[in-house]
Amino acid sequence: MSDTILRYVPADPFWQPTTEQADKAASLLRAMAPLSENVSGHFEDDVRFYDPGENWSGVKCPNCKADVEGWWGEAMDTAFASEFKNLSAEAACCSTTVNLNGLDYVWPAGFGRFALEALNPNMDDTTHKQDQQLAESLGAPLRKIWARY
């Protein structure tokens, strides 16, 4: 049995909500995804990369649209060495400077220090309006990542 996680990560990888904001947003998500096994906010000390697990579909350069998996792994290792405090990287495909959080992840992925998660929500998807309500509740723009493990 694989697990599905509906995960919201702040668009700004360094931003964290207050625990009050996180609790409020978790209550809202619980109401939107009532069949979830668990809904909770997760705070991290350091920035981490939230990949979509089995949904991973590759990553492309936002400037030249090239498949960047050739240099992306090494750039991730370099950024990880700084605990992801510096997410800028030199794109080997077109010699431009890019932000690792701004790459074109074919299936959404992203960096963050906080994630609002619903475990096995047993639903197809949330609506755009619900996504906006969650962002307003938490207090920051969010990136939605459907992950499967």
Q: Which 49-108 residues touch Zn ion, going by CB under 5 A?
A: 61, 63-64, 66, 91, 93-94
- 71 phi-psi bin (left φ>0, alpha ψ -120 to 50, beta other): alpha
Spell out the residues 6+ positions from residue 10 whose beta carbon is closer than 8 angstroms to its own: 16, 17, 112, 113, 114, 138, 140, 141, 142, 143
* Cβ nearer to Zn ion, comparing 25 with 89: 89
Q: Which tokens belong to 131?
A: 């996504």
* Cβ nearer to Zn ion, comparing 23 with 104: 104
Closest contact distance (angstroms) between CB of 68 and Zn ion is 7
Closest contact distance (angstroms) between CB of 37 and Zn ion is 40
* Cβ nearer to Zn ion, comparing 106 with 140: 106
Which residues of the chain form contacts with Zn ion (CB under 5 A)? 61, 63-64, 66, 91, 93-94
